[in-house]
């Protein structure tokens, strides 16, 4: 089943892929992660990213391949925000990323010209592959970059990693979470300012009509 689904994905044979999905459900083959991952890959490559995400969300257990397949789906369609949010969820579930993970998210960033997000992700990748364990100074530098540029998704992914490795230290917890709160506050302020500008534009438009 997984092999045929892979062929459907490569040939963009969505109709056949859907028929196989129905057969897998009837035969209860969709309980296997190999089949589920194949369905996510098939739907994503056929341009049905929402269907791929629905299958992904319905998985009771997800392995690294599951996360990477969904991230690759977002990457090939240039859905940077969705890829970064899923990357943060992945870190929150304590799933260790690999090179495929970073390539998928970097692909999503590059498709949409999101150079800063891609650079911070690359920095995160370098930290992950350091020969020595990164300390709070290293993680803090990455978080500070997230704070400066308002990248909440990457900040939260970093936070999840740090809290997992520094769980024994309450002081570290307080120190490292402060930048994330700042990023969220900046995001809320920007949303409010955007709403205010919209209101002012509406008022000006109304005045011109009068």
For the chain, 210 residues long, give each residue's pLDDT as a single digit of tens. Answer: 889 999 999 999 999 999 999 999 999 998 899 999 999 999 999 999 999 999 999 999 999 999 999 999 999 998 999 998 999 899 889 898 888 888 888 888 877 778 677 777 777 776 666 666 666 766 676 677 677 767 777 777 777 777 776 554 545 555 555 555 555 554 444 443 444 444 444 444 444 444
Model pLDDT, residue 96: 86
Is 81 in the same domain as 5? Answer: no
Token pair in block for residue 12 = 């963009």
| Helix residue ranges per DSSP H, the chain | 2-11, 14-26, 33-45, 49-57, 64-76, 80-92, 99-111, 115-128, 136-149, 152-165, 170-209
Model pLDDT, residue 141: 67
Is 86 in the same domain as 117? Answer: yes
User: Buried b vs exposed e over 98-120: b needs ≥16 C-beta within 10 Å?
Assistant: eeebbebbbbbbebeebebbbeb
Is 54 in the same domain as 76? Answer: no
- Please calculate the CA angle 151-154-155 and round it to the nearest 5 degrees: 80
Is 93 in the same domain as 57? Answer: no
Select from 61, 87, 113 the last residue of a domain: 61
Is 76 in the same domain as 156? Answer: yes
- From the list 35, 43, 91, the residue with the least C-alpha distance to 67 is 91
DSSP conformational letter for 52: H
Is 54 in the same domain as 75? Answer: no
Is 163 in the same domain as 175? Answer: yes
Model pLDDT, residue 207: 40
Is 81 in the same domain as 99? Answer: yes
User: Is the torsion defined by CA of 36, 40, 43, 45 positive or negative?
Assistant: negative
Select from 44, 61, 78 the last residue of a domain: 61
DSSP conformational letter for 29: G
Domain range for 57:
1-61
- Please calculate the CA angle 44-48-53 and round it to the nearest 5 degrees: 70
Give the C-alpha separation, 59 to 21, whole Å: 14
Is 169 in the same domain as 118? Answer: yes
Is 81 in the same domain as 122? Answer: yes
Structural domains counted in the chain:
2
Model pLDDT, residue 40: 98
pTM (predicted TM-score): 0.64
User: How far are the Cα atoms of 38, 62, 74, 203 from residue 104, in angstroms, in the given order?
Assistant: 17, 17, 8, 44
Model pLDDT, residue 175: 52
Model pLDDT, residue 166: 59
């Amino acid at each position: 089943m997984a092999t045929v689904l892979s062929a459907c994905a490569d040939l963009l044979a969505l109709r056949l892929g859907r028929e196989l999905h129905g057969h897998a459900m009837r035969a209860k083959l969709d309980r296997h992660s190999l089949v589920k991952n194949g369905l996510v890959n098939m739907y994503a490559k056929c341009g049905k990213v929402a269907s791929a995400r629905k299958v992904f969300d319905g998985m009771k257990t997800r392995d690294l391949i599951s996360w990477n397949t969904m991230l690759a789906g977002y990457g090939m369609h240039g859905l940077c925000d969705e890829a970064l949010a899923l990357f943060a969820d992945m870190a929150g579930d304590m799933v260790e990323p690999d090179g495929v993970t970073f390539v998928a998210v970097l692909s999503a960033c590059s498709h949409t010209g999101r150079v800063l997000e891609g650079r911070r992700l690359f920095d995160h990748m370098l930290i992950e592959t350091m020969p020595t364990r990164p300390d709070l100074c290293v993680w803090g530098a990455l978080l500070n970059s997230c704070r400066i540029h308002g990248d909440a998704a990457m900040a939260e992914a970093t936070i999840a990693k740090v809290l997992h490795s520094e769980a024994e230290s309450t002081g570290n917890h307080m120190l490292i979470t402060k930048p994330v709160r700042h990023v969220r506050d900046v995001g809320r302020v920007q949303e409010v300012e955007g709403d205010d500008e919209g209101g002012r534009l509406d008022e000006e438009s109304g005045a011109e009509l009068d």
